[in-house]
Amino acid sequence: MNIHEYQAKQVFAKYDVPVPKGIMVESVKDAVEAAKELGGPVWVVKAQIHAGGRGLGGGVKLAKTLEEVEALADEILGMTLVTHQTGPEGKLVQKLYIEDGADIQSELYLSVVLDRKLEMPLIMASTEGGMNIEDVAEKTPELIVTVPVDPSIGFQGFHGRELAFGLGITDKAEQKNIITFAQKLFKLYMELDAEMIEINPLVKTGKGEFIALDGKMGFDNSALGRQPEIAAMRDLTEEDPDEVEAAKYGLSYVALDGEIGCMVNGAGLAMGTMDTINHMGGTPANFLDVGGSANAETVAKGFEIILKNPKVKAIFVNIFGGIVRCDRIANGIIEATKITDVNVPVIVRLDGTNAPEAAEILKNANIDNLIVGDDLGDGAAKAVAAAKGE
């Protein structure tokens, strides 16, 4: 789960990680009030959406007068911001963060992520702040400092020294500042079950202090149960409504661009089904994992979500029953065709636990546009043909 910049900065402030003063607003009027309260002399008006690259997309601008704050707030609020992370459809800006301008001497980069190879958190830093870190990693990897921190010993002095010297910081007061900054950040990363924290840019002020000018945080979904304060920060308007709806029924759904709706049990087989369709010349319309406890209701919900997409020309139900019993899925399909108007061909391939019973149930149901697939390859081929109207 991701949170907004203004929320990340609230979290930082709670852990004493320095951030500029700022206020989140949802109207132009409040934006001006916030600017007055902050006092100026300069302000930054920032679009709050869950995507990087906001500045380049025109969602972050500097204001030198209250009139400019008003004009910029009016311009940015309600705009559809397109960045390299939003996709071409962009995201509607519903919240702004009005922030004090900072005294910037230099811009750095700092993040904490899980290193899957080392199986421990990794602090990454670079003197190339404000840039896309992947570009830096590709072109000038020597400018990135990486410091893995084993949680069983925690953040030690040597971690801090590696970081400070790695960044070429020679002033002793500045060294102390960056080390303290990173130490606090690591503490909150661990305590709050964060998945990643990224501060880009982290700025050094004229006084040699370090401030988080931006803040991006993601959390481990599996740990939200024990992080109620973080869970409460979830902004559902930032998420795909179909994905949210699907999740309520234990379905894992991701919309894609193609024409063949997929309903599959298991994430790996669901991806494998998409790949097979693609390989056979078709295009998958979605990823949908019905999970281990699929029943008539969840299958019906799956059909409903898939059919919301007007591009869908056929549906491929591909189930390899382990814990999921195929007869239950078969009944689910029959129920679903009663509840939902399934107006496209449905190709069904059921294998594994109770597959013969399931085949019998489907045969007896006599559903018009239902086609049986013998195995994965056969089912996918039939789905591709059906989507082409063959």
Partner 1 sequence: MSILVNKDSKVIVQGFTGKEGTFHAEQCIAYGTNIVGGVTPNKGGQTHLDKPVFNTVNEAVKTTGATVSMIFVPPAFVGDAVMEAAEAGIELAVIITEGAPVKDMQAAKAYATKHGMMTIGPNCPGIITAEECKIGIMPGMVFKKGNVGLISKSGTLTYEGANQVCNEGYGITTAVGIGGDPIIGLSYKQILPMFEADPETKAIVMIGEIGGDLEIQAAKLIKEQITKPVVAFIAGQTAPKGKTMGHAGAIVSGSAGTAKEKMEALEAAGVKVVVSPAEIGKAIKEVLSK
Which residues are catalytic, by number? 109, 198
**Given 68, 70, 74, 193, the residue binding partner 1 (CB under 8 A):** 193
Residue type, 273: T
Identified binder of partner 1 from the candidate list 18, 58, 130, 352, rule CB under 8 A: 352
Q: Select from 39, 268, 310, 389 the one that contacts partner 1 (CB under 8 A).
A: 268
Q: Exposed/middle/buried for 42, CB within 10 Å: 0-12, 13-18, 19+?
A: middle
Among 89, 142, 152, 364, binds partner 1 (CB under 8 A): 152
* 53 lies in the site for partner 1, by CB under 8 A: no
# residues near partner 1 by CB under 8 A = 52
Report d(CA 177, CA 380) in Å as an integer. 59
* Residue ranges in 88-107 that form contacts with partner 1 under rule CB under 8 A: none
Alpha helices in the chain (DSSP H): 5-14, 28-38, 66-76, 133-139, 157-166, 172-191, 228-231, 241-248, 267-279, 296-307, 326-339, 355-365, 376-387
Which residue among 195, 214, 259, 304 contacts partner 1 (CB under 8 A)?
Answer: 195
From 23, 33, 297, 320, residue interacting with partner 1 (rule: CB under 8 A): 320
Q: Specify the stretch interacting with partner 1 by CB under 8 A; choose among 58-66, 139-147, 219-227, 295-303.
A: 219-227
Binding span for partner 1 by CB under 8 A among 141-149, 168-176, 303-311, 349-357 = 349-357
Question: Which of 365, 272, 256, 250 shows the shortest CA–CA distance to 318?
Answer: 272
Q: Long-range contacts made by residues 242-249, C-beta under 8 angstroms, separation at least 24?
A: 242/305, 242/308, 245/301, 245/305, 246/288, 246/301, 246/302, 246/305, 249/297, 249/298, 249/301, 249/302
- In the Cβ-directed half-sphere of 175, how many Cα atoms lie within 13 Å? 15
Give the range of 22-30, 123-131, 162-170, 221-229 binding partner 1 by CB under 8 A: 221-229
User: Tell me, what DSSP letter sits at residue 259?
Assistant: S
Asked if 272 interacts with partner 1 (CB under 8 A), we say yes
Residues at the site binding partner 1, with contacts judged by CB under 8 A: 85, 114, 116-117, 119-120, 134, 150-152, 190, 193, 195, 220-223, 225-226, 252, 254, 256, 264-272, 274-280, 284, 287, 289, 320-323, 351-353, 375-377, 380
